Copies of this chain bind each other. A is one copy, B any other.
């Protein structure tokens, strides 16, 4: 479980190495519980995402993996990324065709993503009210929502001040 101050996001300054190690430690446990394995490629892929703190394209991830001696063919990256997404350890940012480490692993959540066009960082915002509103709109049309994507593009606090 994370012990970040409430409202912490990649936008605020924070102890990043701790942010990374805490999440990795959680991942080990969480994955084991499901019977799956956090193998070297998968673990390294998660580290890469955590180090970046922004959305990375699959091929950016792949380059780094290859540098570390793992395979250098697309499926290597896509498989690891898909695994992390399935396990709730990473998210796919549809708008960017890219991936980012989850900042709240272990907590059931379907966040809204806030994508800063200044610094490219991505934060997760609580989206329960958003999804409720979406459900309501969909239900009015007889539509049953199974999964949904909520992404906002704009400016984070830091980039807002220094454009």
Tell me the A residues contacting B by CB distance below 8 Å. 7, 9, 11, 94-95, 112, 114, 116-117, 123, 125-127, 129-130, 132-134, 136-138, 140-157, 160
**Set of chain B residues within 8 Å of A157, measured between Cβ atoms:** 141-143
**Set of chain B residues within 8 Å of A153, measured between Cβ atoms:** 145-149
Asked if A150 and B147 make an inter-chain contact with CB atoms under 8 angstroms apart, the answer reads no
What is the copy number of this chain in the assembly? 2
Pick the residue among B130, B143, B147, B160 that contacts A133 (CB under 8 A). B130
**Set of chain B residues within 8 Å of A94, measured between Cβ atoms:** 94-95, 149, 151
Asked if A156 and B143 make an inter-chain contact with CB atoms under 8 angstroms apart, the answer reads yes
Asked if A144 and B134 make an inter-chain contact with CB atoms under 8 angstroms apart, the answer reads no
Q: CA of A140 to CA of B151 in the docked complex: distance in angstroms?
A: 16
CB distance from A135 to the nearest CB of B (A): 9
**Set of chain B residues within 8 Å of A130, measured between Cβ atoms:** 130, 133-134, 137, 150
Q: CA of A151 to CA of B93 in the docked complex: distance in angstroms?
A: 12
